[in-house]
Amino acid sequence: MPSFRYVLADVFADRPLAGNALAVFTDARGLDDERMQALARELNLSETVFVLPKQGEGQARIRIFTPLRELRFAGHPVLGAAFVIGTSVQLERIVLETAAGLVPVRLEREAARVAFGWMEQPLPRPVPFADAPALLAALHLESSELPVAAYDNGLRHVFVALPSPAAVAALRPDMAALARLPEVAVSTFAGRDTRWKTRMFAPAFGIAEDPATGSAAGPLAVHLARHGRVPYGSTIEIEQGAEIARPSRLLARAEGSAEGPSHVEVGGAAVIVARGEFRI
């Protein structure tokens, strides 16, 4: 009976049992689409990663699944996969092939241990979002402090600004109403200067609330810069996950100008907490 080993990592945290848990199958050869989706559903984490031999210029190819579907790109799976791969190869830069393109990850080590990573994300592009009234109603909000805006960097996120971190913490969304919206991840945020608090809801993807959303952190930095809340080139610190007892810390930086972003990076720590094996 074939066996498939996986590593469990907590991403965007520097201690176990915090951040966003991720399963990384380190050698997914022999698994077809159906089995990958079934394994992601079995583990029931926000995402599960399957590592495959490279097809192009990267060190490896990865596929990313939520419990319901495959994603072209997601942040904590890319960063977590780079940490796991980085434990066995002594490289400072790992390039992963995703369905959204090549994603380089720069690893920082303490002695031999990978301690922190910065991923260069696909540039988020603004995309239309016509369901702002329904979205606000599902969040039980009357308005957003900034225009409701959507961005696509391989995954489509829509951003809603609240007046304070306390207002973000107090949200009690109508998950059924959110699930009826077009396939978007809903990111709510508040803060000032370089400190921001977020919560992300994506029931249409099988994720009621995400502990840490790396793919939203880069677009958030762009959104804040576009609306004059932070200057391009500044690093913002994002807190997420406290409401579901998975506190997370993400860093994000967007370079650019009035014409738009030119470079987006998201950084964070991760820790490996378990190893396992499926015999299927």
Q: Annotated active-site positions, please?
A: 47
Alpha carbon distance 207, 46 (integer Å): 6
